[in-house]
Structure 1
Amino acid sequence: MKKATLLLLSFLWLALPAACQSTNEQNKQKEAEMQANMTPVEVPAENGYEKAYFASGCFWCVEAIYESVKGVKESISGYSGGHTENPTYESSNTGTTGHAEAVEVIYDPKVVSFETLVDVYFGSQNITQVNGQGPDRGSQYRSIIFYQNDAQKKIIDAKIAALEEDLGAGQVAAQVLPFQKFWVAEGYHQDYEKNNPGNPYIQNVSIPRLKRFQKKFPDILKEDAVH
């Protein structure tokens, strides 16, 4: 009897992590479904400039990539895609806020289109990597592309469909979510790659990623975007 009880307890103990993992995946799926059913928030243009929002791994890398593109006035690091108010770097790194490191791209639509920004997005990352980019792993580094209206969503969906013709259905890892709110990150994160050129992460991850992007998209770079 004791032997049978021990065997049962052992089975339950081994099954517990799998059950927890299944529950976590179900919760994530429910959260994604809830977000997908939300009405997107459209950010009004200001002084002729529009805003777009992207998450693709470390925001230090993504900020530098977009700031090298002609027509982009500024790229701001922050957080988006989650369910908590006022996220911070510390809280988002726990993976419990639902937020991902993201950037707000302020751009002139007369110079660069939203469609081109989407091309930059997919062309500057590993589009099949789930929950991260390169060495940065976790839900806070997952890829999310945000849309503010139906026109933007059609552009995104068409781009993903074209990519998956070559890759196979379901291979593009990025979530496509209606934009809700962007939270600006702490001041020391802004222009981090530019202000901290000697940082080992910047030298070994950010700059190589930026150079790979610039090599692929030379025609859309600012004249002073030299690395």
Structure 2
Amino acid sequence: MSSAPPPPVTLPPGAESATVAAGCFWGVEHLYRKHFSSRGLLDARVGYIGGDQANPSYRAVCSGGTGHAEATLLVYDPAKLSYRELLEFFYRMHDPTTVDAQGPDRGSQYRSGIFYHSPEQETVAREVTDKVNAQWWKGGVVTEVLPAGRWWDAEAYHQEYLDKNPNGYECPSHYLRKFPELT
């Protein structure tokens, strides 16, 4: 197995990116691919964001000392799939009410976060967060909404991990919750 990171993601013409952190990145990436690959998701990568160490390794991030979150970078076609849809799914597929934790996973690397790439994304992220906080999670949302900053791809063996390892670890808090449509 190679531990070299994959090449940086290059956006195709017209594509946009979204970055979310929702605990262990294997399950997050897997769920997005499963639900959106045929509906406008062009790529999903796992990696690290929000920390202060250059080129962090999985081991360093897991130690909790780098400040990075395990995250998923989504590349999508906005003509087929909206940023709002991606964020509503984000809030359905994990528990955004736990500080630095998802299921049994503990540490700041497992925090809930939306890392926006433009002022427009920030506006949508804050609007969606406010609505889901009021309507779905009853005031308990602790999700960070921050500028994207520097992205670091995780090591190659983490990419599409659950497709390559169908019996691999998947956080028990990663499943699709049923909520009414946001108003």
Q: What is the TM-score normalised by the length of structure 2? A: 0.83
Identity, % of aligned positions: 39
SS at match of 2:30: helix
Q: Deviations over 1:120-151 (max 9, x none)?
A: 11111112111021111110111110112221
5 Å-filtered alignment, 1:39-58, equals 45-58=11-24
- Structure 1 residue 168: deviation in Å? 4.7
The letter for the 1-side match of 2:156 is G
Q: 1:98 aligns with which of 67, 81, 84?
A: 67
- Structure 1 residue 162: deviation in Å? 1.4
- Structure 1 residue 47: deviation in Å? 2.5
SS at match of 1:111: coil
2:167 aligns to what? 198
Pair 1:47–1:138, CA change in 2 (3 A): same
Structure 2: tracts of 5 or more residues without a match = 1-8
Q: 1:178 aligns with which of 144, 147, 155?
A: 147
Q: What is the TM-score normalised by the length of structure 1? A: 0.68
2:103 aligns to what? 134
SS at match of 1:86: coil
- Structure 1 residue 50: deviation in Å? 1.4
Pair 1:185–1:45, CA change in 2 (3 A): closer
- Measure, in 1, the Cα distance between the counterparts of 2:138 and 2:178: 23
Which runs of at least 4 in structure 1 moved beyond 6 Å after TM superposition?
Answer: none
- Measure, in 1, the Cα distance between the counterparts of 2:156 and 2:105: 21
- Measure, in 1, the Cα distance between the counterparts of 2:10 and 2:124: 19
Q: Does 1:121 align with 2:87?
A: no
1:189 aligns to what? 158
The letter for the 2-side match of 1:191 is E
SS at match of 1:144: strand
Relative to its length, the structure with more strand (as a share) is: 2
- Measure, in 1, the Cα distance between the counterparts of 2:132 and 2:166: 33
Q: Which structure has the higher relative contact order (CA within 8 Å, separation 6+)?
A: 2
2:49 aligns to what? 80
Q: Does 1:145 align with 2:111?
A: no
Relative to its length, the structure with more helix (as a share) is: 1
- Structure 1 residue 48: deviation in Å? 2.5
- Structure 1 residue 83: deviation in Å? 1.1
SS at match of 1:112: coil
- Measure, in 2, the Cα distance between the counterparts of 1:106 and 1:48: 10
SS at match of 1:53: strand
